[in-house]
């Protein structure tokens, strides 16, 4: 409830079924009528839902001037990899043909968003127009500088991330790019659509995004990466009280508009 106070007014907001899953559709009053975004909520592959991310969906819809669809995909530990990814791919394949679609995700939702794009590359299917990836988890190396420096939080901790990984995928599966996208080949990464990446300074996962950005840059890509100082993991959920969260959505919308212009 604290993440969803003072919700932005939408032109349309409804609960529906999409690809057999409960879902939320929010459309802003400034909808340009051309684009839509599939939002993949975070929560360590095991927590959260379209309801917890209602505020984020509305902020993203306003910033990007297009509707946002959030699906209630299966969660670990009851449904570990590849269940959640399969659901996101099903949601993507069931998208309406009347709009140009992009994908967005935060934390483990960014992981699933990137994994979905890599999977679509493997199967030679239509890719999103762009990917908006917020403080994502892309690898399972718990010895990075940011994991050590921010091991005890605030908020997300190293121990929590290790538990989420154990729930989602066994150690022997973590060299699969669809589980840990940092293990993807250069050929796969260079084939991705344009990406926007951000990361929080006080976050065990900071290095994940830094490492991904460095690899993309080395491949000659022009993906934008913003390192947001002074904030914790999940900060974009705090838009009702945190100016940096509202600014991050506006920044994502700015990049989105430039990519999809």
Q: In which residue are the tokens 């140009």 written?
A: 100
Side-chain-side CA neighbours of 161 within 13 Å: the count stands at 28
Catalytic (active site) residue 41: no
Catalytic one of 35, 203, 208, 223:
203
Catalytic one of 31, 72, 87, 107:
107
**SS3 label, residue 24:** strand
Residue 133: strand pairing partners: 105, 197
Between CA 249 and CA 261 the distance in angstroms is 18
Tell me the C-alpha to C-alpha distance, in Å, between residue 253 and each of 99, 166, 203, 231, 242.
17, 34, 23, 20, 17
Catalytic (active site) residue 79: no
Cβ–Cβ < 8 Å for 64, 37:
yes
Catalytic (active site) residue 233: yes
Positions annotated as catalytic residues are 107, 203, 233
């Amino acid at each position: 409830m604290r993440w969803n106070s003072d919700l932005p007014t939408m032109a349309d907001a409804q609960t529906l079924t999409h690809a057999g899953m409960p879902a939320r559709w929010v459309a802003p009053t400034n909808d340009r009528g051309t684009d839509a975004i599939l939002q993949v909520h975070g929560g360590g592959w095991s927590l959260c839902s379209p309801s917890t991310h209602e505020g984020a969906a509305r902020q993203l819809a306003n910033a990007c001037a297009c509707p946002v669809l959030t699906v209630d995909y299966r969660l670990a530990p009851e449904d570990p990899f590849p269940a959640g990814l399969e659901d996101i791919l099903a949601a993507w394949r069931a998208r309406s043909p009347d709009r140009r679609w992009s994908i967005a995700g935060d934390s483990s939702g960014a992981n699933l968003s990137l994994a979905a794009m890599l999977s679509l590359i493997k199967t030679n299917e239509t890719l999103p127009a762009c990917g908006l990836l917020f403080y994502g988890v892309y690898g399972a190396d718990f010895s990075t500088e940011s994991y050590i420096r921010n091991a005890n939080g605030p908020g997300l901790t190293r121990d929590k991330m290790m538990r989420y990984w154990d729930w989602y995928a066994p150690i022997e599966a973590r060299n699969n790019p669809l589980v840990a996208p940092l293990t993807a080949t250069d050929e796969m990464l260079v084939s991705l659509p344009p990406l926007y990446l951000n990361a929080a300074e006080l976050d065990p996962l900071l290095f994940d995004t830094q490492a991904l950005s460095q690899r993309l840059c080395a491949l000659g890509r022009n993906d934008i990466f913003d390192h947001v100082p002074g904030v914790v993991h999940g900060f974009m959920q705090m838009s009702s009280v945190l100016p940096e969260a509202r600014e991050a959505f506006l920044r994502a919308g700015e990049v989105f508009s430039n990519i999809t212009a």
